[in-house]
């Protein structure tokens, strides 16, 4: 899976924003976890690899990380931001 090329990301300070250039009309502001996942999706990856990278960076229980990854991926799918 990968972030579609029609979504552009921008990071400034502690804020991460994603804007669609076609299709979905809107802008998505992300927290630190969602921003990490979105950045990981700029290259082909899997939910497992994303969870592994998050676990290496943040001190959180693995089940909580996997739940967060699944939830954010589902939200991104709902706006058509992911190529499977």
pLDDT number for residue 6: 93
End-to-end Cα distance, the chain:
4
Do residues 51 and 69 touch, judged by C-beta distance below 8 A? yes
Q: What predicted TM-score, i.e. pTM, was given to this entire model? A: 0.89
Residue 26, domain extent: 2-83
- Reported as a single tens digit per residue, the pLDDT across 32-54 is 899 999 999 999 999 999 999 99
- Nearest 5°: the CA angle 63, 69, 74 is 125
**How many independent structural domains does the chain possess?**
1
Give the pLDDT band (50/70/90) at residue 24. Answer: confident
Give the pLDDT band (50/70/90) at residue 22. Answer: confident
Whether residue 16 is predicted with pLDDT greater than 80 in this model: the reply is: yes
């Amino acid at each position: 899976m990968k972030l579609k090329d029609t979504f552009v990301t921008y990071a400034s300070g502690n804020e991460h924003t994603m804007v669609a250039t076609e299709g979905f009309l809107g802008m998505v502001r992300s927290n630190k976890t969602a921003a990490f996942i979105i950045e990981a999706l700029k290259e082909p990856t899997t939910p497992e690899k994303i969870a592994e990278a998050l676990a290496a960076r943040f001190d959180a229980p693995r089940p909580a990380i996997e739940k967060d990854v699944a939830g954010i991926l589902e939200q991104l799918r709902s706006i058509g931001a992911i190529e499977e």
